[in-house]
Amino acid sequence: MKRLNQLLLIVAIYSVTIFAGCKIDNTSEPGVGSFTTLTNYLAVNNMDLPDILDGWIVAAPAPDDVATFIDTYHIIDLRSSFDYGTSHIEGAVNSTLSGILTAANGVTKPILVVCYTGQTASHGVVGLRLSGHPDAKILKWGMSGWNSTLSAKWSSNTGNVGYDHVNWKAAPGDLTPNAQFDTPNLSTSATEGAAILTERVTAMLGGGFSGIVNTDVLDAPANFFTNNYWDVIDVETYGNIADAYRVKSLTISNLNNLNPNQPVVTYCWTGQTSSMVTAYLTVLGYNAKSLKFGANGMIYDDLHTHKFTVPTNDLPVVN
- How many domains does the chain fold into? 2
Q: Which of 155, 183, 218 is the last residue of a domain?
A: 155
Say which CATH number the domain at 203 has.
3.40.250.10
Q: How far apart are CA 293 and CA 88, in angstroms?
A: 22
CA-based nearest residue to 49, from 303, 208, 266: 266
Residues 106 and 203 in one domain: no
Cα distance between residue 119 and residue 290, in whole Å: 9
What's the pTM value of the predicted model, to 2 decimals?
0.90
Domain boundary among 127, 155, 183: 155
Name the helix (H) or strand (E) containing 123: helix 119-129
Cis peptide upstream of residue 172 (ω within 30 degrees of 0)? yes
139 with 174, same domain: the answer is no
**Domain range for residue 180?**
168-302
CA distances 221 to 236, 240, 241, 243, Å, are: 20, 11, 8, 6
- Rounded CA-CA distance 141/236 in Å is 26
Kindly state the DSSP code that residue 92 receives in the 8-state scheme. Answer: -
110-169 pLDDT tens trace: 999 999 999 999 999 999 999 999 999 999 999 999 999 999 999 999 999 999 899 999
pLDDT tens digits for 271-311?
A: 999 999 999 999 999 999 999 999 999 999 999 999 999 99
Q: Which pLDDT value is given to residue 2?
A: 40
* 23, part of any domain: no
